Structure 1
Amino acid sequence: MKEKSLEFFKINTINAEKKIIPFVGGIQAGFPSAADDFYTERIDLNKELIKDPETTFLARVRGDSMKDMRIFNGDLILVDRSLEPKDGNIAVCYIDGEFTLKKLKIIKQEGKVTQIHLLPQNPAYDPIIVTPENEFIIWGILTYNITHYL
């Protein structure tokens, strides 16, 4: 059985107040700073990261075709289905019965889309050129990537 390239999850915004976590503002990337007033406020990641809970989904990435964009196997991505696709977006696409995450190359002539290329961000993979014969939709646009570094 072929492994799924993306695994989707609906965002749970019920009881969001229980998901509010401490927020440390202004972490220094240079010299360390004093840790006085370490927890300055609390932050709700639903409000911070999700514009529309009805059109936003979490997905777990499977595979390494986007590694040069720092999107790795096992990462969680936030995908918004309400956003209009644009050239250069990272998008979840449905092509010929499978989901894939790729960079969009949208070619237009006289304001009309003439061709779409799905570009992996790993030289080990070939671009996918969408043709009229493909069953194809741009399912949603990546808004955030959550990488686990440990």
Structure 2
Amino acid sequence: MISVRVPGLAPPTLPLALSPVRAGFPSPAEDRMEAGIDLQAYLVADPLATFLVRVAGDSMCDAAIQEGDILVVDKGLTPRHGDIVIAAIDGEFTVKRLHRKGSRYMLLAANPDYPPIVPAGDQELQIWGVVTACVRKFR
């Protein structure tokens, strides 16, 4: 878990700039801050249905998901075609993009070095949740 909430105590908030930061030249006029943001409230829509998982491997690198990232996963959402999901095939967990073709499902990596995972007739595919956010530390 990221944190433990104690009833009656306000969640910690961090300052949030009023203007988005540009990847070009900075403007000194854009240094105003708004009240703050509760990162847990921002990242987690349904705390009772949400869990976190750390990424291992590089199969989703072209979706900007890298080894060591922490994924926010909502198991209460209905998975849709194109969603990034946490799935299990015969008990082996993976993070992949869910692809539906007719009545068949497959799991697609976001790295051309990995082939699609197409469950065979005797394999069980379970979707554990939909990835809703990715958290990465730079330092």
Q: TM range, normalised to the smaller chain? A: 0.7 to 0.9
* Deviates further, 128-137 or 32-41: 32-41
Confirm or deny that 1:48 pairs with 2:37: no
Select 2:109's aligned residue among 111, 116, 120.
120
- How many residue pairs get matched? 136
What CA deviation, in whole Å up to 9, does each residue of 1:12-45 have, x standing for no partner? 3514735311112213313312267643211111
Match 1:135 to one of 105, 124, 130: 124
Query: For structure 1, which segment, 36-45 or 114-123, has the greater mean C-alpha deviation from structure 2 after superposition?
Result: 36-45
Task: Choose the corresponding residue for 1:26, options 6, 19, 27.
Answer: 19
- Per the TM alignment, residue 88 of structure 1 is displaced from its structure 2 partner at its CA by 0.6
CA–CA separation in structure 2 for the residues paired with 1:130 and 1:12: 36
Give secondary structure in 1 for the equivalent of 2:41.
helix
Q: CA separation in 2, counterparts of 1:77 and 1:130?
A: 24
CA contact (8 A) 2:11 2:38 kept: no
- CA pair 36-137 structure 1, distance change in 2 beyond 3 A: closer
CA RMSD, 1 decimal = 1.9
Cα distance in structure 2, aligned partners of 1:94 and 1:57: 15
After TM superposition, which residue ranges in structure 1, 4 or more long, deviate above 2 angstroms?
10-13, 15-19, 35-40, 147-150
Instruction: Show CA shifts across 1:104-127 (max 9, x none).
Output: 11123xxxxx21111011111111
Percent identical pairs in the alignment equals 39
Instruction: Say whether 1:62 aligns with 2:51.
Output: no
Deviations 1:85-139, CA, capped at 9 Å, x for gaps: 111110000111111000111123xxxxx21111011111111002331122111
Which whole-Å CA distance do the structure 1 matches of 2:32 and 2:71 have between them? 28
Name the structure with the higher strand share.
1
Structure 2 unaligned residues grouped into runs of 5+? none
TM-score (norm 2): 0.87
TM-score, structure 1 as length reference: 0.81
Shift of 1:58: 1.2
Is 2:98–2:105's contact at 8 Å kept on the other side of the alignment?
yes
